[in-house]
Homo-oligomer: A and B are copies of this chain.
Amino acid sequence: MTSVQITQSHTLRRDARRNRALIIEAAREVFAGAGFGAPLDAVARRAGVGRGTLYRHFPDRYTLAVAIFEDNVRDIEELAAAYEGRADAFDALLRALVDHQVRSHGLHQALDKGTEAPELQALAERVVRAFAEPVRRAQEDGVLRADLVKEDLLDIMRMVASVIERVDDVERRRASADRAMDLLRNGLRG
């Protein structure tokens, strides 16, 4: 629960809040199914709201992406707080990250159009910040390569996303993501 969330909870009427949530969930599903370029109409239809309502809440495609990411990022941050000081923080965060991607896939395309939505960059930055300390600790413990930089983290997100994207079924998506993480963590060497 960050201040943003609280503010929104208080600002929007109950029905509006409900619609907002319906739209976000619909967008998650539609983007997952048809990619980030899917017709916004489809989102509105799936959410069971009119076009205008969609546009009122989210003036454009990117605002929608931001809203979806926002949820995920917040979760990462909470997790980072919960694992503060623990040696397995990095592992836990990484697992959570992959889990989000499995559930909100279709969105990494948005990430790479960051220029059109500075908020997306900001969210990515928050993820990086949440990872900072766990990464440092893992490196100190010698379980994570020392040369890992923050750009790598974003690239890892991209890589996992890329193997997931074309898969429709959530379970197979999870399997693909796990395999990709395995390759990444352990490398290709024999």
Contacts and interface: CB of A to CB of B under 8 A. Distances in A.
Nearest to A187: B187
Interface string A72-104: 000000000000000000000000000000000
Interface in A24-47: 37
Given A159-B163, A162-B108, A144 B190 contact: yes
A37 B166 CA distance: 16
Interface string A131-163: 000000011011111101000100110110111
Contact of A190 (B146, B159, B165, B166): B146
Interface string A115-142: 0000000000000000000000011011
A186 interface: yes
Interface of A: 37, 108, 112-113, 138-139, 141-146, 148, 152, 155-156, 158-159, 161-163, 165-166, 176, 179-180, 183-190
A144 B186 contact: no
Contacts of A108: 162
B165 A112 contact: yes
B158 A188 contact: no
B187 A142 contact: no
Given A112-B165, A166-B112, A159 B180 contact: yes
Interface centre among A113, A184, A190 (most CB of B within 10 A): A190
A187 B190 contact: no
B185 A145 contact: no
Contact of A179 (B139, B152, B179, B185): B152
